Amino acid sequence: MTTPTRTEIKRYRPQDVERRWREHWAASGLYRTPDHVPGRENWYALTMFPYTSGDLHIGHWFAMAPSDALARWRRMRGHNVLFPMGFDAFGLPAENAAIKGSLHPYDWTMANIERMRRQLQSMGAMFDWSREVNTSAPEYYRWTQWWFLQLYRMGLAYRAAANANWCSSCQTVLANEQVVDGRCERCDTVVVQRRMEQWFLRTTRYADELLQHDELDWPEHVKLMQRNWIGRSEGAEVSFALEQPASDGTTEIRVFTTRPDTLFGVTFIVLAPEHALVDALTTPSQRAAVDAYVEAAARTTEIERQSTERAKTGVFTGVYCVNRLNGARVPIWIADYVFSTYGTGAVMAVPAHDQRDFEFAQQYGLEAPVVIAPPDYDGAPLAAAYVELGTLVASGRFDGLPNEEAKRAIAAHLAEQGWGGPSVVYRLRDWLISRQRYWGAPIPIVYCEACGIVPVPEAELPVRLPYDVEFLPTGQSPLALSEAFVQVECPQCGAAARRETDTMDTFMCSSWYFMRYPDAQNGATAVARPAADAWLPVDQYTGGAEHATMHLLYARFFYKAARDAGLVPGDEPFTRYFAQGQILGPDGRRMSKSRGNVVAPDGQVERWGADVFRAYLMFLGPWEQGGPYDVDGIVGVSRWLHRLWSVAVEAPAFGTHGSGDVDAAAARELRAVAHRTLARVTDDLVRYRMNTYIAALMELTNALHRAREAGPVDRGAWDEALRLATLMLAPACPHLAEELWERRGGAYSVHEQVWPEPDAALLERATVELPVQVNGRLRDRVEVPAGVAEVDVRALVEARPRIAEQLAGRRVVRVIYVPDRLVNFVLGDAAS
RNA sequence: GCCGAAGUGGCGGAAUUGGCAGACGCGACGGUCUCAAACACCGUUGGGGGCAACCCCGUGCCGGUUCGAGUCCGGCCUUCGGCACCA
């Protein structure tokens, strides 16, 4: 195929322009980002890397193209901008594809990466491909394993037996964050609980710090989601003395409550069926009932268990404890409305002041004494729990205290007596990272009969994934079936030992990838401190808010651990974060193959060109909002760029200075339009308003077009306006801007030019069109000098026939004059 | 149930601090070029009334504040998102 030389191109042919410049950019290394450039500050712009599922989705374009525009704009503003790209390449889909037949996960993934890299390159983004990462490459996962070992050493990784969320379809356990409404986030299968030995990361250690968002320039709703997810509750821990020690010697039950003020209203204690003491407490006469209940609870799915509609059930253990505050004898029950994983797994029940306890008490005929008096309380039994504010009654020495005050007073009293005290608990659970699957980074641990849990020495990393394994969904990792993988010498004593066969959750890989880009090629460490100091933390992160309580939380946890290990600067990984919306199918529903509403980016690029497609995605609407992809609308953007091409390439008739055929005012106005656009656009980019950025450029193009059609144009003004238009276009449509820049004699590359400053003098308007209102209704418009005084405006306006007619015979009560904005005559009744 | 965000033409959307509602674009309608067409070009386009100049109505609903409300306040309705037997 022959490429036409550029003088032959009369018409805008995006495909030719784009191919030519992509090749040129690559050849000239325009997007290579050194760690330091004298005189330029570093700026780390990052958009979430894609999962290697096979094809670049339109959603990827929607996320990445505007991010690229912003990165380019930062570059023009004088920063040395790092804008890297890579692949999130481990994970279940690769393995599921292998199980279905055909390809090995490695081959499947590598083929996808090849395809997606090509698709990404068609975007014309300023990615520095020399820093590409692939999380499934040994050169990368070696360091994921290394991170695991650092966390282990810091006491942030531990192994424990626990009830884990098991997806029978994916044949693996899932983290809490990956269970949505009791179902597997990935395949919608109902999750069941399985008790297993698993590896956890101690995210809860940083719970309080993770709640600290004050320094972060993030969307409020994302911060809120994280706050809700972490779920900090303040209250008190209270110890209840067992009447008789349990069979294991335990003498107390500890509960967590947010309502220590209701402690005098406790009429029973409830343990979760899974509570460690249940077995040791239960009396022989209640044993059969309790065992049956515990067993039934174990069979209940989380969905059933968490349903609030279900009637409350429970069983008495046969045992009592004592409320130390008032000596009351309190029966201990078990019930599945109490969760073993929250607080102490036991609650003190106050039926009068907690709706759940109230329902339970009604069910089993338990007392509900009122200890916080509702207003005008007559002593009659309550119809529902009273949970509002009130004053304490029947609470001994605390009677008469407002209940909020009583919370503190009783908690303090408990602490004094050694019966408990103030306490804080979190909804957040530690992060379960074990996966019983093949396509992930092996957990670098060896189990030795003699030495126990032994970390693999760093020098022996990576623990490589063997290629030849059986992909049978057996419920244990395929690695367990590979004797060659499992059998190993203990690194400590040399005896025969076994490797851990589970792999890590892929969110491990993505929790630190942004730390790798600064030092992507380093074979000696994950990220060297100088590289980390050069780039971290990320200045601008963009990506979907669906990651609010997963990736974005995990990455923050990781970064804090990295900080504590002295590896990275600062406390937070992402200084600024912007959450773009989700792009939907033309029918307004989520794009999916099964719905048949998928719009392939490749097709759009082929038909319209990458620049048109990029600009259209930005133009669609507010970036944070997303919305349906309207296949027909893109033609408007295409028309715009063709028109801009025409305006830039086909010069107008130029007038000569002083000959009178060029109007000085028109020349000034053309320049002013360009500078006003520049001011608007700069503000739009600061505020991520990509849609109005594009709209402003369209308006400028229309103004240029009108000026050209209107007759002779001042050459200086024309050139200046067009120069600004090209520079402003560069972030959004990098190929076309480069082409127009070159055609108009600009030095390579437009992307290395400085973003211009608007000329303040041109932003001032000599005259303004002032709306004239009478009683708040628009009646006229009048052209006045900017900033003109009120008296002059009045004189001018009152002389206008339309206004004079309105004012005739009526009294002007007031005149509101907002300079350059509006004038409003407020009339009273008819004047005499 | 609790928390959060959003409701503007046929459609996507725009509108500093309260100050010309509907920028920009799609679609539609009319026209030009063309044998024909559009990924071309020009024009019209919130609704209603009027020959016209113009007038009235209009930003989810009801009320309020104000000279003036898409924007502020109170009360609802709808949609979307998060959390939810979390003590």
How far is residue A499's CA from residue A466's CA, in Å, rounded to a whole number? 13
Q: Tell me the nt nearest to A827, Cα to C1'.
A: B67
CB neighbours (10 Å) of residue A802? 14
Nearest nucleotide over every DNA/RNA strand to the A701 CA, judged by C1': B24
Q: How far is the CA of A225 from the C1' of B17 (A)?
A: 31
As a residue count, chain A comes to: 832
Assign A105 a pLDDT band (cuts: 50, 70, 90).
very high
Question: Of all residues in chain A, what percent are helix, strand and coil, respectively (each to 5)?
Answer: 40, 20, 35
Nucleotide B5: nearest residue by CA–C1'?
A221
Closest nucleotide to A817: CA versus each C1': B19
What is the distance in angstroms measured between the alpha-carbon CA of A615 and the sugar C1' of B26? 15
- Could you read off the pLDDT of A711-764 as tens digits, one per residue? 889 999 999 999 999 999 999 999 999 999 999 999 999 999 999 999 999 998
Query: What is the C-alpha to C-alpha distance for residues A741 and A730, in angstroms, rounded to an integer?
Result: 9
Could you tell me the pLDDT band of residue A70, with boundaries at 50, 70 and 90?
very high
* Separation in Å, CA A68 to CA A47, A123, A601, A724: 8, 9, 16, 20
Whole-number distance in Å between A352 CA and B61 C1': 39
Find the Å distance, CA of residue A766 to C1' of nucleotide B68: 26
> Bridge partners of A330?
A321
pLDDT in tens, A508-537: 999 999 999 999 999 999 999 999 999 999
Q: Which residue is nearest to nucleotide B4 (CA to C1')?
A: A221
Q: What is the predicted pLDDT for the residue at A79? A: 98
Residue A666 three-state SS: helix
From the C1' of B80, which residue's alpha carbon is nearest? A625
Residue nearest B14, CA–C1′ metric? A692
**Can you give the distance from the CA of residue A402 to the C1' of nucleotide B62 in angstroms?**
38
How distant is C1' of B45 from CA of A661, in Å?
A: 36
Find the Å distance, CA of residue A698 to C1' of nucleotide B50. Answer: 37
pLDDT band at A4 (very low <50, low <70, confident <90, very high): very low
Enumerate domains of chain A plus CATH numbers.
145-228+430-506 (3.40.50.620), 232-426 (3.90.740.10), 601-762 (1.10.730.10), 767-830 (3.10.20.590)
Q: Which residue is nearest to nucleotide B15 (CA to C1')?
A: A692
Q: Whole-number Å distance, CA A289 to C1' B39?
A: 76
Please state, in angstroms and as integers, the Cα–Cα distance from residue A190 to each residue in A75, A177, A763, following that order. Answer: 48, 15, 62
Quote the CA–CA distance of A165 and A174 in Å, as a whole number: 5
pLDDT band at A173; cut points 50, 70, 90: confident
Burial pattern A17-30, b for ≥16 Cβ within 10 A else e, equals bbbbbbeebeeeeb
Per-residue pLDDT reduced to its tens digit, A467-492: 988 887 677 788 999 999 999 999 99
Measured CA to CA, the distance from residue A562 to residue A500 in angstroms comes to: 24
Nearest 5°: CA angle at A579, between A576 and A580?
135
pLDDT higher than 60, residue A5: no
Spanning CA of A779 to C1' of B56, the rounded length in angstroms is 14
Query: Residue A154 in contact with residue A558, Cβ under 8 Å?
Result: no
Q: Which amino acid residue lies closest to nucleotide B20, measuring CA to C1'?
A: A771
Closest nucleotide to A822 by C1' from CA: B19
**Using the 8-state DSSP alphabet, how is residue A318 labeled?**
E
* pLDDT tens track for A127-166: 999 999 999 999 999 999 999 999 999 999 999 988 888 8
What is the C-alpha separation between A710 and A716, in angstroms, rounded? 17
To the nearest whole percent, how much of chain A has pLDDT over 90?
Answer: 73
Which residues on neighbouring strands pair with residue A768, listed in sequence order?
Answer: A784
Measured CA A775 to C1' B13 distance, in angstroms: 31
Kindly tell me the sign of the dihedral angle through the C-alpha atoms of A436, A556, A85, A580.
Answer: positive
The CA distance from A66 to A73, in Å, is 10
Q: Tokens 């004079």 — which residue?
A: A804
Using pLDDT thresholds of 50, 70 and 90, give the confidence band for residue A580: very high
| Per-residue pLDDT at A571 exceeds 60 | yes
Which nucleotide comes closest to A626 if you measure CA to C1'? B12
Question: CA A775, C1' B51: Å apart?
Answer: 30
Instruction: Determine the protein residue whose CA lies at the shortest distance from the C1' of B2.
Output: A228
Q: How far is the CA of A620 from the C1' of B14 (A)?
A: 12
Return the closest nucleotide (C1') to the Cα of A255: B87
The DSSP annotation for A107-124 comes to: HHHHHHHHHHHHHHHTTT
Contacts of A437 (CB under 8 A, 6+ apart): A92, A95, A170, A171, A172, A477, A478, A502, A503
Name the percent of chain A lying above pLDDT 70. Answer: 97
Q: Which two tokens stand for residue A523?
A: 């074979």
A776 Rama sector, left if φ>0, alpha if ψ -120 to 50, beta otherwise: left
**Burial (CB count <10 Å: 0-12, 13-18, 19+), residue A465:** buried
Identify the sign of the CA torsion A669, A675, A681, A683: negative
3-class DSSP assignment, residue A538: strand
Contact A237, A256 (CB under 8 A): yes
Query: In the prediction, which pLDDT does A830 show?
Result: 52
Can you give the distance from the CA of residue A779 to the C1' of nucleotide B19 in angstroms?
14
- Closest nucleotide (CA of A272 to C1')? B87
Q: What is the pLDDT of residues A351-404, one digit of tens each?
A: 999 999 999 999 999 999 999 988 778 888 888 899 888 899 999 999 999 999
Closest protein CA to C1' of nucleotide B69, residue: A776
Question: Which residue's CA shows the smallest distance to C1' of B66?
Answer: A776
Nucleotide lying nearest to A256, CA to C1' measure: B87
Q: How far is the CA of A116 from the C1' of B24 (A)?
A: 33
- Tell me how far apart the alpha carbons of residues A232 and A546 are, in angstroms, rounded to a whole number: 21
Q: List the Cα angle A321/A324/A326 in 5-degree steps.
A: 105
Residue A168 CA to residue A478 CA, distance in Å, equals 16
Summarize pLDDT for A17-50 with one digit per residue, the tens. Answer: 999 999 999 999 999 999 999 999 999 999 999 9
Q: Which nucleotide has the shortest C1'-to-CA distance from A709?
A: B42
Angle at A789 between CA A783 and CA A794, to 5 degrees: 65
Tokens of A821: 């904005």
Helix (H, G, I), strand (E, B) or coil at A673: helix
Closest nucleotide C1' to the C-alpha of A260:
B87
A307 burial via Cβ count (<10 Å: 0-12, 13-18, 19+) = exposed
Which nucleotide across the nucleic acid strands is nearest to A350, CA versus C1'? Answer: B87
Closest nucleotide relative to residue A630's CA, C1' based? B12
Tens of pLDDT, residues A628-658: 999 999 999 999 999 999 999 988 888 876 6
For residue A11, name the pLDDT band (cuts at 50, 70, 90).
confident
User: Can you give the distance from the CA of residue A547 to the C1' of nucleotide B78 in angstroms?
Assistant: 28
Nucleotide showing the shortest C1' distance to residue A779 CA: B20
**Å from A70 (CA) to B15 (C1')?**
24
pLDDT category at A805 given cuts 50, 70, 90 is confident
What does the angle CA A827 – CA A828 – CA A831 come to, to the nearest 5 degrees?
A: 105
Give the ranges where A300-402 is alpha helix by DSSP (H).
302-306, 355-364
Please indicate whether residue A709 or residue A618 has the higher confidence score (pLDDT): A618
Nearest to A270 by CA among A342, A203, A209: A342
The string of DSSP letters for A221-265 reads HHHHHHHHHH-EEEEEEEEEEESS--TT---EEEEEES-GGGGGG
Chain B nucleotides near the protein (CB, 7 A): 3-5, 11-15, 17, 19-21, 23-27, 39-42, 54-56, 67-69, 81-87
Instruction: Give, in Å, how far the C1' of B21 lies from the CA of A47.
Output: 36
| Nearest DNA or RNA nucleotide to A608 (CA to C1') | B39
Å from the A628 CA to the B11 C1': 11
| Helix/strand/coil for A366 | coil
Measured CA to CA, the distance from residue A47 to residue A68 in angstroms comes to 8
Residue A147 phi/psi, 5-degree rounding, is -60, -40
Residue with nearest Cα to nucleotide B23 C1':
A695
Mean of the per-residue pLDDT values for chain A? Answer: 92
Stated as kind and residue range, the H or E segment containing A157 is: strand A157-167
Exposure string of A518-556, with b = 16+ CB inside 10 Å and e = fewer, is bbbeeeeebbeeebbebbbbbbbbbbbbebbbbbbbbbb
Query: What's chain A's Rg over C-alpha atoms?
Result: 35
Find the nucleotide nearest A607 (Cα to C1′).
B39
CA A80 / C1′ B74 distance in Å: 52
Does residue A203 have a pLDDT over 90? Answer: yes
Give the number of other CB atoms < 10 A from CB of residue A372: 27
